[in-house]
């Protein structure tokens, strides 16, 4: 992508940057594809902000998790607890075809006691994800508060038993409560489409862990706790306002993980994409595919990108940052 780049001049807490895939478009011919990369990154103004966590580990302990996979999952859960402090709330739920609450939501004042509870986890029967999700949300509900980052980390290695619709409804509910679900699939037997849908509906992310590398669970859990701790902006929404003659076709997230996203049409030319939380390490990136009608030679604004956001730790809500997306048409 060519670096035809513009940055938002009024940014304070969030810097908004846009790039187009090329700097010049021909004036002849029909509609042309144009790709717009939009990146939203917290600035140094809020770099030192750290909000307490409200975290739930929802873990598959079905029979297929026995052996090295279960041992790695338990080690990863204990490492996640080690990264938290007394200002953070944590709960731990395990599920197979039933649900067991291992650790009710509580401040991490005695991590060793919580880790002993993790050590007691044993493998069980089948897999029913919705039960684990429902129990995790119930515990997270106890810790919901302004200025606290709520996350569910869901790990499974198998297909769920006929409750996909319920899982999606629970994910939508989580998203409405600003609870992002990190959905991790271990191995090759899990339902990738379902985990992607759970993540997207809740404003979270999905990823996979190779079956022959269960030790990677440790890195994945550690990274997700660190990302939550680095979150400084919440409720971020991208609105892309397109001028006449420009149509949206598709939207992808490019950062922190690549994924195709849904978008909501606010009008014939305006689209909205939920970004959710922004962390100070990476922020978020979105790639928008558009169709642009030809124009006479000259410089034109084809869209305006606007991000609204909250910074709960400083009491800021409904803040806005915007920038124009400009391209050149030439007959050369």
> What is the token pair recorded at 268?
């014939």
Q: In angstroms, what CA-CA distances link 43 with 38, 52, 282, 328?
A: 16, 20, 11, 30
Confidence of residue 1 (pLDDT cuts 50, 70, 90): low
Q: How far is the C-alpha of 217 from the C-alpha of 234, rounded, in Å?
A: 26
Residue that wins the pLDDT comparison between 217 and 56: 56
Q: Which of 179, 200, 229 is the last residue of a domain?
A: 229
Let me know whether 30 and 102 are in one domain: no
Q: Is the pLDDT of residue 6 over 60?
A: no
> What is the token pair recorded at 257?
């993980």
Let me know whether 21 and 96 are in one domain: no
CB 114 within 8 A of CB 57: no
Residue 191: CATH number of its domain: 3.40.50.410
Let me know whether 150 and 110 are in one domain: yes
Residue 323: CATH number of its domain: 2.60.40.3670
CB 119 within 8 A of CB 74: yes
Give the rounded percent of residues in the chain with a pLDDT score beyond 90.
56
Confidence of residue 241 (pLDDT cuts 50, 70, 90): very high
**Mean pLDDT score of the chain, rounded to an integer?**
88
Bridge partners, residue 248, by sequence: 290
Q: In angstroms, what CA-CA distances link 250 with 37, 203, 239, 245, 260?
A: 12, 18, 14, 16, 8
Among 105-114, 231-240, 272-281, 291-300, which stretch is predicted with the lowest mean pLDDT? Answer: 272-281
Q: Which pLDDT does position 127 carry in this prediction?
A: 87
Q: Which pLDDT does position 267 carry in this prediction?
A: 60
Q: Which pLDDT does position 9 carry in this prediction?
A: 46
Let me know whether 66 and 207 are in one domain: yes
> pLDDT of 86-108, one tens digit each?
999 999 999 998 999 999 999 99
Residue 305 burial (C-beta neighbours within 10 Å; 0-12, 13-18, 19+): buried
Instruction: Give the mean pLDDT of 212-233.
Output: 89
> pLDDT of 23-40, one tens digit each?
888 887 788 899 999 999
Let me know whether 157 and 103 are in one domain: yes
> pLDDT of 156-189, one tens digit each?
987 888 899 999 999 999 999 999 999 999 888 7
> What is the token pair recorded at 40?
């939203």
Question: Where in the sequence is the domain holding 198, given as residue range(s)?
Answer: 53-229
Confidence of residue 10 (pLDDT cuts 50, 70, 90): very low
Residue that has been written with the tokens 């991790």 in this structure: 184
Let me know whether 131 and 199 are in one domain: yes
Q: Which pLDDT does position 269 carry in this prediction?
A: 73
Tally of structural domains, the chain: 2
Let me know whether 265 and 157 are in one domain: no
Query: Rounded to two decimals, what is the model's pTM?
Result: 0.81
Instruction: Give the mean pLDDT of 260-280.
Output: 74
Q: How far is CA 293 from the centre of its chain?
A: 33
Q: Which of 170, 199, 229 is the last residue of a domain?
A: 229
Instruction: Give the mean pLDDT of 109-114.
Output: 98
């Amino acid at each position: 992508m060519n670096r035809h780049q513009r940055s938002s001049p009024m940014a304070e807490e969030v810097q908004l940057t846009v790039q187009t895939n090329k700097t010049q478009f021909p004036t002849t011919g029909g509609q042309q594809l144009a790709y717009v990369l939009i990146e939203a990154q917290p600035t140094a103004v809020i770099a030192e902000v750290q909000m307490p966590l409200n975290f739930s580990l929802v873990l598959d302990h079905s029979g297929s998790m026995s052996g090295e996979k279960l041992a790695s999952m338990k080690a990863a859960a204990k490492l996640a607890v080690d990264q938290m402090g007394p200002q953070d709330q944590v709960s731990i739920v395990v599920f197979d075809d039933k649900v067991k609450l291992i650790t009710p939501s509580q401040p991490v004042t005695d991590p060793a006691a919580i880790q002993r509870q993790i050590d007691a986890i044993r493998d069980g029967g089948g897999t029913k994800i919705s039960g684990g999700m429902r129990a995790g949300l119930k515990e997270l509900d106890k810790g919901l508060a302004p200025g606290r980052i709520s996350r569910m980390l869901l790990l499974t290695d198998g297909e769920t038993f006929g409750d996909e619709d319920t899982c999606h409804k629970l994910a939508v509910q989580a998203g409405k409560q600003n609870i992002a679900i990190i959905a991790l699939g271990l191995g090759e037997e899990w339902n990738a489409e379902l985990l992607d849908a759970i993540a997207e509906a809740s404003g979270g992310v999905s990823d996979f862990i190779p079956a022959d590398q269960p030790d990677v669970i440790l890195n994945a859990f550690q990274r997700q706790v660190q990302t939550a701790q680095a979150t400084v902006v919440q409720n971020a929404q991208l609105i892309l306002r397109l001028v006449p003659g420009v149509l949206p076709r598709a939207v992808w997230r490019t950062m922190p993980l690549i994924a195709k996203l849904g978008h909501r049409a606010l009008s014939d030319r305006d689209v909205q994409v939920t970004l959710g939380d922004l962390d100070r390490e990476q922020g978020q990136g979105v790639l928008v595919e558009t169709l642009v009608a030809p124009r006479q030679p000259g410089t034109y604004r084809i869209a305006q990108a606007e991000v609204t956001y909250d910074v709960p730790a400083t009491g800021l809500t409904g803040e806005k940052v915007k920038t124009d997306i400009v391209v050149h048409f030439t007959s050369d």
